Amino acid sequence: MEYDKDLRSIQEARDLIKNAKIAQKQFASWSQADIDKLTKHICEACVRNAEPLAKMAQQETGFGKWEDKVLKNLLGSKMTYEAMANLKTVGIINENRAQRYFEVAVPVGVVVALIPSTNPTSTVMYKCLISLKAGNSIVISPHPGAQNCILETVKIIQQACKECGAPDNIVQVVKTPTIQATETLMKHKDTGLILATGGEAMVHAAYSSGNPALGVGPGNGPAFIEKSADIHEAVRRIVESKTFDNGTICASEQSVITQECIKREVMEEMKRQHCYFMTPEETDKVGRFIMRANNTMNPAIVGKTAKYIADMAGISIPSDTLILVAETSEVGKKNPYSREKLCPILAFFTVKNWEEACDKSIEILENEDAYYRFKAVCRQYLITEVDQDTTLESHLYHLTPDQPAAGVYTELGARVKLSVPVVKKGIFGREHKVYKEEIWKITELMELSVQKKQFRGIVLTELQIPKIRLREFAV
């Protein structure tokens, strides 16, 4: 009896999880030395094949530059291995005799890894190495648009595993990729962890699966060029980042924000470094190609050059153009330039001061639902003594209930640890200041900031969020 493709893929996914669970139990007996030997051997195999796999990925997907994908493959293999080479992941990994406790590393079991088409081979390398280093088995769910290069990468890793005597099925891949197969893998009761890299819908599905998940979805990172910046160097770094692999990395810049007082200098420097500022008419033409009718990114522009996109939109640009720039002021779902663009296109915003830049940055991040991918940004210039005219509110980026950031802290149940100055009298009646530690809910701070209360001399020593803790970052 011939089954439909979706039904065959579902059964395949179930079999892969079953086999992975068996393999992981066998793998659990491996020593730290054996695991380290295995990850080193896999790394060496990936490094040897970094270039052919990069070329294969570019040819299959049509995204980016193979030369840059070689560097991505080295990052996913050699640099990843070196970063964790001395990390202990088996047995007792830390012992604190003074406080009478020790920490034991325990594998999560079966890791399900979703692989995108933008960074296919390097993501397979990276996720396999970190999963095996931690004593887990892994099942790869490939993007159909990059299936062949993903399968080839898995084949190389499987061969390296075999040469080291690793259990059969310690690394597996879905050979009939469908949405149904991916959902089966994510929701399976024996899945220990999901590593989800992909579009917004896929990452949301991973977090909604009922199993633990770590997701990397759309990015929409703005770059703020402040008036004190080295403009040439700032622009150079933005251009290098945005043109790397033709912008396929979701962490690359999507917008440039600068201040009115240096706007002309920034624009002139960007032009010198081969950025083309489009006219309103050209901006409109290119904008029609950025998003599809369903308001998702058009894959036809992903990883393409500025010249390719310009030709597709029917506009004429200089032959040496590296990046297309659209000057805009609005942020929203209907403005494609304020969205994630995995290609060499940048939005250009102008603000009066750094406070407006922070507000604009938050607005841009939230426009791609970064609200659910919380980031706490610590700025060096905030680590100072609080003067009498400074409110704690200003240091928390105007943290009031009507500000976007406030909802993030509130939803995550954030609290702050404060060192509050208290005046006490000594035995001779002389007054002196001491600091008393207090823990406040973030909502209490917001209520007081609405009332325009000042927090003179208070030091914010810790921001506490479930499973996230940032110490001594603002005062």
Q: Are 121 and 150 in contact (CB under 8 A)?
A: yes
Contact 152, 175 (CB under 8 A): no
250 is catalytic: yes
> Under a CB-based contact definition with an 8 Å cutoff, are residues 249 and 216 in contact?
no
Residues 90, 145: Cα–Cα separation, whole Å: 37
Residue 397 has which token pair? 């980026």
H/E stretch holding 419: strand 415-425
| Helix locations, 208-302, DSSP H | 231-243, 263-272, 280-290
What is the sign, positive or negative, of the torsion defined by CA atoms of 1, 181, 35, 29? negative
CA 456 to chain CA mean position, Å: 36
Is 431 exposed, middle or buried (CB count within 10 Å of its CB: 0-12, 13-18, 19+)? exposed
End-to-end, the C-alpha distance of the chain in Å comes to: 69
CA 380 – CA 282 distance, rounded (Å):
39
Task: Write phi, then psi, for 157 (nearest 5 degrees).
Answer: -70, -40
DSSP secondary structure letter of residue 247: G
Residue 42 in tokens: 């896999």
Q: How far apart are CA 447 and CA 254, in angstroms?
A: 34
Contacts of 329 (CB under 8 A, 6+ apart): 349, 350
Q: Are 122 and 93 in contact (CB under 8 A)?
A: no
Among the listed residues 46, 149, 250, 343, the single catalytic one is 250
d(CA 293, CA 295): 5
Which stretch of DSSP H or E encloses residue 465? strand 459-465
Enumerate the active-site residues. 250
